[in-house]
Chains A and B, each alone.
Chain A
Amino acid sequence: RKEVEQDPGPFNVPEGATVAFNCTYSNSASQSFFWYRQDCRKEPKLLMSVYSSGNEDGRFTAQLNRASQYISLLIRDSKLSDSATYLCVVSAGTASKLTFGTGTRLQVTL
């Protein structure tokens, strides 16, 4: 079993749609959780941290379920510019290391 698992997609959605990505992780000692966005042939960029209480940043909402070891990202009112790969990232149980999922690709179309 992979340490961080994501549906690779691609998710093809029309502009304005709501789309949700899921991620599961295997290390119950993980303490930190993030969503990163990566555009084609570019570096990963932090989208948002994920907190136990859930958090929202504009059109983006992240949720964490520690009991199920499950993380989600919801994007409302999708824009063309949201097209990218979304990486689920989890701490590796030690303070400094992170484990990356392989990413879920999103394509928003007109």
Chain B
Amino acid sequence: DAMVIQNPRYQVTQFGKPVTLSCSQTLNHNVMYWYQQKSSQAPKLLFHYYDKDFNNEADTPDNFQSRRPNTSFCFLDIRSPGLGDAAMYLCATSRENRDQPQHFGDGTRLSIL
């Protein structure tokens, strides 16, 4: 089945140690998103790619970076994770059409020691 796949499902890293989360999709969607979701909160958009065009949210910390080497893959890099970055990180995709919903991967739960 076509889908959005995130790896790993669970990631533990040390305070300040860089970490990379990955996302791949077989849906051939133009747009890919990274969200951060903390307990009992709405998913918070960090950034998204419209094809190769990178769109950062104004309140996304500089600590968070992203790469999209091709249509299928997108990475989230956290350069120096702090305790406040512990969260579920969700990757999603959508077609460019305005009326299309977003399809989510299973998420990566990040813990910081």
Q: Interface size bucket, B side?
A: 20 to 34
A43 touches B106 (CB 8 A): yes
B50 touches A96 (CB 8 A): yes
Q: How far is the CB of B18 from chain A (nearest CB, A)?
A: 24
Complex interface: chain A residues within 8 A of B45 (CB): 97-98
Contact mask A86-110 → B, CB, 8 Å, 1/0? Answer: 0101010001111011110000000
Contact mask B20-54 → A, CB, 8 Å, 1/0? Answer: 00000000000100000000111101001010000
B96 touches A49 (CB 8 A): no
Q: Does B97 reach chain A (CB closer than 8 Å)?
A: yes
Q: How far is the CB of B5 from chain A (nearest CB, A)?
A: 11
Report the bound CA distance from A95 to B31 in whole Å: 10
B41, B48, B104: which contacts A43 (Cβ < 8 A)? Answer: B104
Q: Which residue of A lies closest to B100 (CB)?
A: A32
B42 touches A46 (CB 8 A): no
A43 touches B107 (CB 8 A): yes
Report the bound CA distance from A52 to B31 in whole Å: 25
Q: Which residue of A lies closest to B91 (CB)?
A: A43
Contact mask B77-113 → A, CB, 8 Å, 1/0? Answer: 0000000000010100010111111111111010000
Q: Does A42 reach chain B (CB closer than 8 Å)?
A: yes
B98 touches A46 (CB 8 A): no
Q: Does A41 reach chain B (CB closer than 8 Å)?
A: yes
A31 touches B103 (CB 8 A): no
Q: How far is the CB of A86 from chain B (nearest CB, A)?
A: 12
Q: Which residue of B lies closest to A103 (CB)?
A: B42
- Given A87-B42, A96-B50, A101-B42, A41 contacting B104 (CB threshold 8 A): no
Contact surface of A with B, Cβ cutoff 8 Å: 4, 8, 31-32, 34, 41-46, 49, 87, 89, 91, 95-98, 100-103
